[in-house]
Structure formats: C-alpha cells, structure tokens
Structure 1
Amino acid sequence: MGLFLLWFLFGIGILIQAVYLLLIFGRTAWSKTPTSSSSASESAEGVTVLISAHNEYHNLKRLIPKLFEQEYPKYDVMIVNDRSTDRTKRLLEEMMAEYPRLRSVTVKYTPNHVTSKKFALTLGIKVAKYDVILLTDADCMPSSPQWIEKMTAPIREEGKTFALGFSGYESQKGMLNRWIQFETLLTGLLYLSFGLWKAPFMGVGRNLSYRKSFFMEMKAFKGIWHLEGGDDDLFVNAYATGKNTGLVIDPEAATVSLPKETWKEYLVQKKRHLHAGKYLRGEDKQKIGLYSFSHALFWIGGLGLLIYLGVFKQWEQFLVVFSIITMRLILVWSIFRSASKRIQGKVKVSQTLINDLFYLAYFWVLGTVSYQAKDIKWK
C-alpha cells in the first residue's frame, strides 16, 4: 500500500508539472512574442516615471541620472519623498536644478487608516503630469535607454490599460544571490506565462505601467488600503484581464534591482510579498498553489520511491524513478535558461537541483508563516 501511494503521488506530480513546464512556462521560454522595434516619434504620448522613496538617498543619487539617459522623447520623473529623514530632500532639490524634468512631492505623515506606500503612490499619481504611469523602485535600474519606450508601448500603441514587465536582481557571489536569481525567475515565469495565456494575475511594482485615469476611476487602492504590500500584485489582480493587459518580454524593457545581502533582510522582504498573496483571487491563488502542490508531490513521491526501492534493492524501478527526476531537472534547467535569456538577456542558471529542492521549504514553510503574519511593514 505504501509503495502504491508513493507511485500515485509521484505520478500526479509528474503530470501536473509537465503541464506547467511544457505548456505554461514553455510559452514564455520558447514562443516568440512581438516586440516594439520602432522608435517613438516626437509626438508620442507623455510618460511619468514614478518612484516612492523612503530614506533612499544613496539609491536615488545613483538612479536619477540614469533615468535621464532614457531615449524616449516625452517623459518626466516624479519622486515621492515619503517621510525621509536622511538627505533625500536636499538631494532632490539639487537634482531638480540640474534636471528640469525631475519633480518631487513630499509626504510628511501617513493617515492612520492607510498604509504608507499606497498613500505615497496615490499622492504621486494624483499630481503626475502624464496619463501613462511607469512605476519602479529607488533601488532599481533600467536595463537600457529604451526602457520607457518598450515598457509603455502596449499602453500607448495598443490601447492596453496595464503593461507587465520583469524586474531581476544584480548577480553577486554567494548562495543567497543564486537562490534570489532562481526564485525571481520562477515568479516571473508564473505571472508572465499566465499573462501570455490571457490570464494575468499579478505584476511587480519594480516594473509596471498603467494609466493614471484608470487608477483614479477605480478609486486608487480601494479595498486594500489597510494591507501592507499589494500596491502592485493585488492592484493588477483586481483589474487586469486578458484584453486590457500587455506583456513586455524584452531584455531592454527589464529593470535590475539591488538584491538583499543577508538572509534576514531577504526573509523580511519575502514575508511581506508572500503575505500579500493570501488576498489574491481564489482562482489565481490556485495557479501558484497547484504548481507548488505538484512540485511537492513530485519530490515527496520521488525521494520516497528512491529510498524505498533502494532499501529493497529493486534497481530497475529505482533507475526509472531516478531517470524521470533527472529528465525533469534537465527540462527545468532548459526552460529557465531559455526564459532568462529572453526576459533579461542573460543565460546563467546554476544549482538547479539545490534551488528546486529548496523551493519546497521556501514555499511551504515561509509561505505558511507569511500567510499568518500580522507584523508586516513596508518601511
């Protein structure tokens, strides 16, 4: 009975994983998606790049000059100085004198019933000059001078309301960074792939665009004001559809963020991200949950079979299970490698086996803790 159960779990895991890897993730990794190749004209619609910053002096000093290297003809940059106590205000004053298209607004306090980042973003969007809003964070960098043009093309040229892009992290040495690269790419595969299948369910605020007029029409973050996080994924989840959402899969349209350098900082960040996931629509939680559930079935069943068959020296069946596990790992490596090249222009994918196994603990342990957490904060 125990052996039958292990084979049953392993088989179900294989079937569901095959659907995700080949049909869903394969859409992002291998299919060709149209990219905008023409340059925007001088009459192109204006874009406001919006950043909410709390004590981000060093990151803003690095980011702002890069933003004004963009080749898009008509844009400005709005920095929301959210209760900063460092030198952010003085830096913005100095840089506004140097860059005429840089503007800022200051948040001095946050109302009790509203979370800080949503209040800051809402204020920035309200005073934004242009209707097309392009969001990123202070610790992000555009991957190319064509970032604004390519990320906003679905909205400006195709009449979409949302444009979802990818935001990766700088490559550094160490196990933590390798895990961050893996987990970020997996998250990107999930939301970009379902978006390509006309079933978008989230985006990331480090690289997200939508219309100011739509945001105001929907009364900003109505219904989620009290939640820490969710200004990106939950807002997209509430309103994005297959018809009003465009996917931007192009290395030149990506952004690159500074990764956390300690496990403690990383776990605090991911706890906030995973906590917001509990408020996704039920069918969208199933998209993530079914992948993670089948992933767990595959490894629990597979490792259980290897141990059982090894102990009882049933080597033919042992070899079958080992071969299936190996083939899946090769498939995961191939998909991640191809997707990484298409999404962010780099192909380095390492430690697939270790990271794939570590995902079990990450999702089921940290996910459970985050789901029940009540002490989530932005800054």
Structure 2
Amino acid sequence: MGLFLLWLFFGIGILVQVVYLLFIFGKTAFYSGNKSQSTSPNEEGVTVVICAHNEFSNLKTLIPKIFEQDYPAFDVMVVNDRSSDSTKRLLEKMMENYPKLRSVTVKYTPAHLTAKKYALTLGIKVAKNDIILLTDADCLPQSDQWIRKMTAPVRNHNKTFAVGFSGYEQKPGFLNNWIQFETLLTALYYMSFGLWRRPFMAIGRNLCYRKEFFMEVKAFKGLWHIEGGDDDLFINQYASGRNTTIVIDPEANTISKPKETSKEYLIQKKRHMNAGKYYRSEDKRKIGLYTFSHALFWIGGVGLLIYFGLAESWEHFSVVFGIILLRSILVVRIFKAAERKIQGTKPPKNIWMLDFLYLGYFWILGTISHQAKDIQWK
C-alpha cells in the first residue's frame, strides 16, 4: 500500500507539474507579444505616485531618475507618510528644482485604517492626472521608457490595469540568489495567468490603473483592516481578462533594493504571503495546485528513490531518478527562458536546488504567514 501511494503521489505530481511548466508558465517563458503599442501618439497625462516612510536616501536617488523619463506629460506625487527623518525637507528642496514634483504629508494614520492604504488613497485623491503609475521609494525605473511602456495599455487600449514586473538588484550570496528565484517564480504565476486572461495579482512596485476607477469602486472597501494587499488584493477583486494587460518588456520594469538579512526578508515575505489568504478561492487554487503537486512530486519521488535503493531495485531506481532529472531540466529551461524574456538578465544560479528547497520554504513560511497577527507596513 505504501509503495502504491508513493507512485500515486509521484504520478499526480509530475502530471500537474508538466502542465504548469509547459502550458501555463510557458506562456510567459515563450511570450512573443507586440511591443509596438507603446508608440501611439496618445500621450495622456500620468501621475507617478510614491508612498514614502523615512525614505530620505532612496528618494534622493529616485526622484531625479524619474524626471529623466522620456514622456512629455507626467508629474510625481510623493506621499510623505509619518516620516521622522529629513524627507520633508528634501521634498521641499526638490520641488524647487522639479516643478512637476508635488508632495502631501500624512501626520498620523486613523486607528481603523492601515498605513499604506491610507497614504496611497490620499496620494491618488490629489493626483492631477487620471492615469496612476505606482512604484516604491526604494525602486528605480530600468529605462527612460518606463512611464511610456507601463501606461501604454491604459492610454491606448482602454485597459483599466497594466501589470508590470519589479525585480531586485543582483548581488552575491545565497539569500540574494534565493530572492531572485522566488521573485521570478511569483512573476511566472501572475504574468502567466494574466496572459491566459485570468489575472489574479500584481506588484505595487510597478502597477498602473485609472484614478477614476479607483475612486468609483472605493478601491480598498472591505480591505482597510488588512495590512498589505494594496496591490494584489485590489487586483484580485477587480482585474479580469478584458480590463487587464500584462506588460512584459525589460524597459518597462523597475528594480528594487533586496533585503540584506534573512530576518528582514522573512518579515517582508510574511507580509506578502499573509495577503494571499484573502484571495478568491479560485485564485488560491492557481497557486495551491502547483505547490501541492510540487510537494507530491518530491515526496513521492524521494520516497521511491529511498524504497528502491534499499531494495536494490536499480532499474526502478533509474526510472524514478530519470523522471526527476528530466523535470529538473525542464524547470531550469523554463525559468531561464522566462528570466530572459522578463528581465533580459542572467537567471538565478542552481535553479534545480532552489526548486527543491522551495518545498520547505512555501509550506513552513506559508503556514506561519497565514496565522500571523503582527503584520505591518512600516
């Protein structure tokens, strides 16, 4: 009976995994969309909205970089959220040099609201333009075409949402390599299902939508009590195959500073994963089916290798090992192709090993995040 269950786990796991890797994630890895949509003469005004809490050094770098953008009609709104550093003084000085830079200061957050959503709502309310492009203070556009390319679906094709990619700086060390892997896997989820016209999440570090829609639906209604989710839960509620476009273009990306310690990274990921429990049931299944089949595959595969190894049944051992090897090769190729398509950079190292380690990471951290009560923005 035990051997049968191991084969059953292994069989179901490999079947679902192949479907995901080839037909779902492959949609992103082998994407060949038309980039010409960003060249339309329609140059509607755009407001870049940034929420910042004690981000003096990051804003000092980011704001001049944004004003290098090759787009004629945009301004920047920085929401100075309860900062205790020199952010306010910096913004006042920069507004003298950049007439299209504006700022609003949040002195306190009402008790029944969450900080990021409150700050973001204030910034969007006072935005001059209807098209809102979001990023974070610790991000940088990857090119001077960022505004043009990220807003193109909303400006030119009457889309409500344009969902982009935001990666992290590549640095030496295992933690950074893991961050690159996990960020790419997350992108494969939301970009691939988005390309299949089943969008379910986005990253607030690179997201575009219309202010009119945001205000009309009272965007965070029912979400105020949840820390985080100003991006993925908003998209989860209102995005559809008709009103959403996934933007895959290295020139439309932003890049962020990665966490430097495991503690900082785990706090960040706990906040991100905590929001997932509020997704619609069908969207939970999109992630859950892959991760569950991933667990079945490795539990069944490793169990069979141990069983046949102890029994010295080397023919069966070789078959199981060969299947595991073939799947690992497929994972590496899909991830490498997706990395080139999304970022145009080198993929993470040792993808096959990181894929195996993801088994423990997701189930352990996911369980902790699901039960966490101490989630906060800043």
Give TM class, smaller chain.
over 0.9
- Residues 178, 348 of structure 2: 8 Å contact kept: no
Residue number in structure 2 paired with 1:17: 17
Q: Which amino acid aligns with 1:302?
A: G
- Residues 36, 150 of structure 1: 8 Å contact kept: no
SS in 1 for 2:221: coil
- Residues 56, 138 of structure 1: 8 Å contact kept: yes
CA–CA distance in 2 between the matches of 1:345 and 1:338?
A: 9
Matches within 5 A, 1:186-265: 186-265=185-264
User: Once the 2 structures are TM-superposed, how far is the Cα of residue 48 of structure 1 from its aligned partner?
Assistant: 0.4
Number of positions where the alignment pairs a residue of Structure 1 with one of Structure 2: 378
User: Once the 2 structures are TM-superposed, how far is the Cα of residue 358 of structure 1 from its aligned partner?
Assistant: 1.3
Structure-1-length-normalised TM-score: 0.98
Q: Does 1:84 align with 2:45?
A: no
Residue number in structure 1 paired with 2:305: 306
Residue number in structure 1 paired with 2:30: 30
- Residues 333, 349 of structure 1: 8 Å contact kept: no
CA–CA distance in 1 between the matches of 2:302 and 2:158?
A: 49
SS in 1 for 2:136: coil
CA–CA distance in 1 between the matches of 2:162 and 2:39?
A: 18
CA–CA distance in 2 between the matches of 1:320 and 1:38?
A: 49
- Residues 46, 75 of structure 2: 8 Å contact kept: yes
Residue number in structure 1 paired with 2:183: 184
Q: Does 1:69 align with 2:68?
A: yes
CA–CA distance in 1 between the matches of 2:146 and 2:331?
A: 29
Q: Which amino acid aligns with 2:79?
A: V
SS in 1 for 2:260: coil
Residue number in structure 2 paired with 1:152: 151
Q: Which amino acid aligns with 2:347?
A: K
- Residues 305, 321 of structure 1: 8 Å contact kept: yes
Q: Which amino acid aligns with 1:339?
A: A
CA–CA distance in 1 between the matches of 2:159 and 2:17?
A: 32
Aligned in 2, Cα 1:40/1:103: closer, same or farther, shift over 3 Å? farther
Residue number in structure 1 paired with 2:270: 271
Matches within 5 A, 1:281-360: 281-360=280-359
Residue number in structure 1 paired with 2:160: 161
Q: Which amino acid aligns with 2:297?
A: F
SS in 2 for 1:136: strand
- Residues 38, 148 of structure 2: 8 Å contact kept: no
- Residues 50, 134 of structure 1: 8 Å contact kept: yes
**CA deviation map 1:291-347 (0-9, x unaligned):** 100000000000111111111111111111111111111111111111111111113
- Residues 338, 347 of structure 1: 8 Å contact kept: no
User: Once the 2 structures are TM-superposed, how far is the Cα of residue 37 of structure 1 from its aligned partner?
Assistant: 5.9
Residue number in structure 2 paired with 1:100: 99
**CA deviation map 1:188-218 (0-9, x unaligned):** 0000000000000000000000000000000
Aligned Cα root-mean-square deviation (Å): 0.9
Q: Which amino acid aligns with 2:124?
A: I
Aligned in 2, Cα 1:142/1:337: closer, same or farther, shift over 3 Å? same
User: Once the 2 structures are TM-superposed, how far is the Cα of residue 354 of structure 1 from its aligned partner?
Assistant: 1.9
User: Once the 2 structures are TM-superposed, how far is the Cα of residue 2 of structure 1 from its aligned partner?
Assistant: 1.2
Where do 5+ consecutive residues of structure 2 fail to align? none
- Residues 38, 152 of structure 2: 8 Å contact kept: no
SS in 2 for 1:256: strand
CA–CA distance in 1 between the matches of 2:109 and 2:269?
A: 24
- Residues 40, 72 of structure 1: 8 Å contact kept: no
Q: Which runs of 4+ in 1 moved over 2 A?
A: 36-41
Q: Does 1:375 align with 2:371?
A: no
Q: Which amino acid aligns with 2:85?
A: D
Q: Which amino acid aligns with 2:361?
A: Y
Q: Which amino acid aligns with 2:340?
A: K
User: Once the 2 structures are TM-superposed, how far is the Cα of residue 36 of structure 1 from its aligned partner?
Assistant: 3.0
Greater Cα offset, 25-34 or 124-133 = 25-34
SS in 2 for 1:114: coil
CA–CA distance in 2 between the matches of 1:85 and 1:38?
A: 40
CA–CA distance in 2 between the matches of 1:38 and 1:376?
A: 38
CA–CA distance in 2 between the matches of 1:248 and 1:148?
A: 12
User: Once the 2 structures are TM-superposed, how far is the Cα of residue 154 of structure 1 from its aligned partner?
Assistant: 0.5
Give % identity. Answer: 69
